[in-house]
Each structure stands twice: as structure tokens, then as C-alpha cells.
Copies of this chain bind each other. A is one copy, B any other.
Amino acid sequence: MAALEDLETPVAVIDLDRMEAAIARLQEYMTGHKIANRPHIKTHRIPEIARLQLKAGAVGITCQKLAEAEIMADAGVIDIFLPYNIVGNAKLVRLVALAKRIRLSVTADSEPVIKGLADAAAGAGLTLPVAVEFDTGLGRCGAQTPAEVRELARIIASFRKLKFAGLMTHPHNEKSDPFVAEAKSYLAHDGIPVETVSYGSTAGMWQAHTRKEVTEYRAGVYVYGDRDSVRHGALKPNECALRVLMTVVSRPTEDRGILDGGSKALSSDLLGLDGYGAIEEYPEARIYSLSEEHGGVDFSKCGKKPKVGDRVTVLPNHGCVVGNLFNEMVGLRGGKVEATWKVAARGASK
């Protein structure tokens, strides 16, 4: 087994003990609160990690794109929720083909999307579960009001080959439960039961039990951890499994250092944080700029500064995008390489 020191940089590594602990911790919490755990695999995109999540007790997985779901199904996952509007003939053909193989559910937030799903399901002779996405804060997809949700649920229920599969949002906040309660009261009048209410986000995962309406939870980056999850109090730095190892390749001035990883290793996601990542060995250092293959670091506030050839360990701002930039992730245990996983669904955006 290769040792940590033998890995060439830049390399994305996963502390397997930490990752397994994160998977167990979230599962235990969700089980304890009787919330179905349906992790979002768009963070890791690796079937082997999905299997660990399922083995721990997840009811299924969440995929963001159809192409991810196809790859996960090919790897043996049999229960997938796809909280995305599937639009266009080519994708609908793929969707129903996948729905014939596994337990698949989707979402919709408009009538045209629902009609497309209904036609595809009818054409394929299968019943497709469709949840309604609603928006209580992110300003992305989703119905804007409980009345809109009612209208969309009615449309879904009106199609013989669609099954209304509940409500979904990302993330959740204090408005989510009142929104759901109002939508449910409307739908009760229509005789349409709301069996599943699915909330998401790693940032708010430990608050899931305070939401009375939630029945299912989707967390993604909890499995890796990142600076953003630390800032939200979801994980401690020493609970985050993901790091990117880099080498100092230049020290052009007394204060400045250049790393051999840039935006193609960390992405340019700042997420409101200061700098593009945190360097464990130099907590006072600041990654002030990234070009594609260079990371610019200000070491001026560090008592001891690195020399050319020294290695550093970077906690990324955003674990999900890092998981998409590398071709493979290296799993470590006790400083040794235990697994090298291909990021099978890397770039699977269709």
C-alpha cells in the first residue's frame, strides 16, 4: 500500500475513518428521529461511497442529474430520487428507460414539465412518482406558494400514469414547515395525501428534527465536509474527511508562495468565505488567488513559512465541486492508501 508521502500532488484525499464516522453519525441521527435518510451523491459521484451510505441504512440516494442516476443504477443502486425537472424528448426517453430498471422518482415545478413526464410514462406503460418542488428561500426552482403546489399536485394526480409523490425543497428554513402545512391542508380538501416531505442541505442537517413536517432528508457534502459546512456548524474541521494535498512550487517573495493546485483543484467557489481554502499547516495563511494550476498564498502572517517542495493540506471551501474536478479520489487510513476510487459520475451533467 502506498504511503501518503508517495502520492503526487495535487491530489484529493479522503480520510476513510472520518468519512465512515460522518456516514454513521448522520444515519444514527436520522434513524433516531425517524427521518428517512436519502443522501445526495452529487458530492462524491462514486458508487462505492453510495454503497457505504446505503449499507449504513439510507433508504436510497438522491442524484441531481439523470446521467448520474444512470451511472448509479448501472452500479447496482435500486432506489433513486431525482429532484430535477426533466425536460425534452431525449431525456424523457432515458428517464422512463431508467424507471423500468429501478425505483425512480422525480420532481416537477411546472405544468409543461408534468405533461412531458405524463406522456413519457404513458408511452412506456409505467407509473412514475412525481413530487412537487417548492421554494422557501433559495430562489432557484420550485413553486412559490402553497396554492401553486396544490395546482401542480392536482395536475399530477390527474394523470393516470403519474403518482403524486409529495413535496421537496432545498434547503429548509423556518418558512418551510408553515408552507408545507398550508399546502397539505389544501390537498387534504382534494383528497390528495402528502406522504413524503423531503428537505435537504448539510448546513441544516442537525436541525432536521426541529422541522415537524419532514419525512425524508437529503444531505450531500456531509460525507466529505468542507469549510462551508464548518462555518455552518455542521461538521468540525477534524470531522471533515476531504482534503487536497498540494506542493509549494515557488516562493517568489518573502511572503508569497505558489501551490501546484488552482481552480482546477479547488474551483473558484468562495461561498462568502475569505480565501479559496484553509491550509492546515499554516492556519494564518490566506489563499488569495487561484489561476487554473496555481494557488497564490499570502504567508505574511505565518511565523514559520514553507520552502519550495514542502507539502500542504488544504480544506476546500466547497467539497462538491472538488469531487467533480478530480478523476479519482484517494481513500486513506492510518496514513496509507486503502482505496483509489474513480469518480464514475464526474461530468455526468446531462
Q: What is A's interface to B at a CB cutoff of 8 Å?
A: 6, 8-11, 42, 64-65, 84-85, 87-88, 90-91, 109-110, 112-113, 116, 135, 139-144, 247-253, 256, 258, 260-261, 263-265, 267-270, 289, 291-294, 296, 307-309, 320-321, 324-327, 346-347, 349-350
B65 adjacent to A250 (CB under 8 Å)? no
* Contact with A64, one of B139, B293, B350 (Cβ below 8 angstroms): B293
CA of A327 to CA of B64 in the docked complex: distance in angstroms?
Answer: 17
CA distance A91 to B7 in the complex (A): 11
Chain B hits for A308, CB < 8 A:
85, 87, 110, 112-113
> In whole Å, how far is A175's beta carbon from the nearest beta carbon of chain B?
15
Q: Is the CB of A309 within 8 A of B10?
A: no
Inter-subunit contact A347/B320 (CB<8 Å) = no
New contact pairs (6) apart from A9-B88, A65-B293, A292-B324, CB-CB < 8 Å: A10-B350, A88-B247, A141-B250, A141-B294, A264-B324, A346-B347
What CA separation (Å) do A136 and B11 show in the bound complex?
Answer: 30
Knowing A140-B294, A141-B252, the reply to whether A264 touches B347 (Cβ < 8 A) is yes
Which B residue sits closest to A6, measured CB to CB? B90
A169, chain B: closest CB distance, angstroms = 12
User: Which of B110, B144, B249, B296 meets A87, CB within 8 Å?
Assistant: B249
Q: Which B-chain residue is minimally distant from A294 (CB atoms)? A: B140
CA distance A91 to B85 in the complex (A): 45
Least CB separation from A148: chain B residue: B252
Residue of B whose beta carbon sits closest to that of A135: B252
Residue picked from A270, A292, A350, most chain B C-beta under 10 Å? A292
B144 touches A253 (CB 8 A): yes
Does A268 lie within 8 Å of B267, measured CB to CB?
A: yes
Residue of B nearest to A261 (CB): B349
User: With a CB–CB cut-off of 8 A, which chain B residues contact A293?
Assistant: 42, 64-65, 84, 349
CA distance A350 to B325 in the complex (A): 13
Least CB separation from A320: chain B residue: B292
Question: Contact at A141–B264, with CB atoms within 8 Å?
Answer: no
Residues of B within 8 A of A144 (CB): 252-253
Whether B140 lies near A258 (C-beta < 8 A) is yes
Output the nearest chain B residue to A325 by Cβ-Cβ distance.
B347
- Distance, CA A44 to CA B44, complexed state (A): 25
Give chain B residues whose Cβ lies under 8 Å from the Cβ of A84. Answer: 249, 260, 293
Which chain B residues border A267 with CB–CB below 8 Å?
263, 267-268
